[in-house]
Amino acid sequence: MEKLTMLLFSSLLLLGCHSVSTQDHYREASFELCNTEVDIYSVSDDGRVRIVCSDGAKFALAKENTLDTMRDINIEYCDGEGLGKFSESSRYYSFKCKSGTLLSITK
């Protein structure tokens, strides 16, 4: 019983220490945004992220946390069909749904 308790405690401790890495974001972008392979996933020194999918879709993000916002935009504005383009400025998100709809919304 003590071993089981220690194993459970150790597992919870490891889960609490888990941080999301660039590799995790790369996989998320591949499956959730591109729906195909990712040709380029780069993070610059200032934290900007650029993603190019093998189907030609392109994304420019101010930071990796914007991936969560992109998922929400895909569901709310593109009905989950996917994003073809996405860029972020200090005040706006501009994007194109795979259906061709172009939108710009404030942050």
* Residue 12 within any structural domain of the chain: no
3-state secondary structure the chain: CHHHHHHHHHHHHHHHHCCCCHHHHHHHHHHHHHCCCEEEEEECCCCCEEEEECCCCEEEECCCCHHHHHHHHHHHHCCCCCEEEEEECCCEEEEEECCCCEEEEEC
- Inside any domain, residue 5: no
pLDDT 10s per residue in the chain (107 long)?
Answer: 444 334 333 443 344 444 556 666 666 666 667 777 788 888 888 888 888 888 888 888 887 778 888 888 988 998 888 888 888 888 999 999 888 999 999 98
Tally of domains in the chain: 1
Residue 7 lies in a domain: no
pLDDT at 104: 95
pTM: 0.62
Per the domain annotation, does 49 fall within a domain? Answer: yes
Classify residue 11: in a domain, yes or no: no
10 within domain boundaries: no
In a domain, 55, yes or no: yes
Q: Has residue 40 been placed in a domain?
A: yes
Domain assignment of residue 102, given as a range: 21-106
